[in-house]
Structure 1
Amino acid sequence: MKRTLSLLLAAGLGVSLCACKAPAEPSAPPAAATPAPSQYVFTRENFPRLDGSTATVPLGQAVAAVLLGESREEVDDLIQFNKTSRAYYNLVDGEADLLIVAEGGEDSYSYRDERGMSWRMEPVAAETLVFFVNADNPVDNLTLDQVRDIYSGKLTNWSQVGGSDAPIQAYQRPAGGGSQAIMEKEVMGDTPMMEPYNTDYVVSSMEGIIQAVRAWDDQPDAMGYTVYYYATDMGMADGLKLLSIDGVAPTDETIRDGSYPIHTAYYAVMDSETPADSPAGVLFDWLLSQEGQNLVAHEGYVSVKEPTQ
Structure 2
Amino acid sequence: MRRLWLSLIPLLFASCFGREVETLVIRGSDTEVNLVLQLAENYMDTHSGVSIAVTGGGSGTGIAALLNKKTDIANSSRSFKDSELQLAAERKLEVVPIIFALDALSFIVNENLPIEQLSIEQLRGIYTGEISNWSEVGGPDQTISLYGRQSNSGTFTFIQTHILKGNYSPDMKQMNGTAQIIEGIKRDKAGIGYVGIGYIVNSEGQVTEGIKVLCIQGEGQSWAVSPLEPANITNGSYQIVRPLYQYLDGAPEGIRKAFLQYELSPEGQKIISENGYYAINDTYRKKNEKYLESK
User: What TM-score do you get using the length of structure 2 for normalisation?
Assistant: 0.75
Contact kept in structure 2, 1:196 and 1:202, CA below 8 Å:
no
User: Residue 268 of structure 1: SS of its match in structure 2?
Assistant: strand
Tell whether 2:186 aligns with 1:186. no
Determine the structure 2 residue equivalent to 1:67.
Answer: 43
Residues 123 and 45 from structure 1, CA distance in 2 versus in 1: closer, same or farther, beyond 3 angstroms? Answer: same
Determine the structure 2 residue equivalent to 1:22.
Answer: none
Determine the structure 2 residue equivalent to 1:223.
Answer: 192
Distance 1:119 1:224 in 2: 32
Query: Which stretch shifts more, 280-289 or 151-160?
Result: 280-289
Q: Which has the higher strand share?
A: 2
Aligned length: 254
User: Residue 202 of structure 1: SS of its match in structure 2?
Assistant: strand
Runs of 4+ with >6 A deviation: 74-77
Distance 1:232 1:125 in 2: 16
User: Residue 49 of structure 1: SS of its match in structure 2?
Assistant: strand
Residues 162 and 267 from structure 1, CA distance in 2 versus in 1: closer, same or farther, beyond 3 angstroms? Answer: same
Contact kept in structure 2, 1:274 and 1:280, CA below 8 Å:
no
Q: How far 1:169 moved relative to its partner?
A: 1.6
Q: How far 1:150 moved relative to its partner?
A: 0.7
Determine the structure 2 residue equivalent to 1:206.
Answer: 178
Tell whether 2:254 aligns with 1:278. yes
Query: Which stretch shifts more, 79-88 or 222-231?
Result: 79-88
* Unmatched runs of 5 consecutive residues or more in structure 2: 1-5, 7-18, 218-223, 283-295
* Unmatched runs of 5 consecutive residues or more in structure 1: 1-14, 16-42
Residues 110 and 212 from structure 1, CA distance in 2 versus in 1: closer, same or farther, beyond 3 angstroms? Answer: farther
Q: How far 1:129 moved relative to its partner?
A: 2.0
Q: How far 1:82 moved relative to its partner?
A: 4.0
User: Residue 40 of structure 2: SS of its match in structure 1?
Assistant: helix
Contact kept in structure 2, 1:156 and 1:167, CA below 8 Å:
yes
The AA in structure 2 aligned to 1:177 is S
Distance 2:85 2:159 in 1: 17
Contact kept in structure 1, 2:58 and 2:153, CA below 8 Å:
yes
* Alignment counterpart, residue 52 of structure 1, candidates 18, 22, 28: 28
Determine the structure 1 residue equivalent to 2:65.
Answer: 90
Distance 2:86 2:181 in 1: 29
Q: How far 1:128 moved relative to its partner?
A: 2.6
Q: How far 1:133 moved relative to its partner?
A: 1.1
User: Residue 142 of structure 2: SS of its match in structure 1?
Assistant: coil
Tell whether 2:112 aligns with 1:139. no
**1:157-198, Cα deviation, whole Å (9 max, x unpaired):** 112111122221222221111321221122112x2111126x
* Alignment counterpart, residue 287 of structure 1, candidates 263, 267, 270: 263
Contact kept in structure 2, 1:129 and 1:183, CA below 8 Å:
no
**1:127-173, Cα deviation, whole Å (9 max, x unpaired):** 13211112222221111011011111111111211112222122222
Q: How far 1:244 moved relative to its partner?
A: 0.9
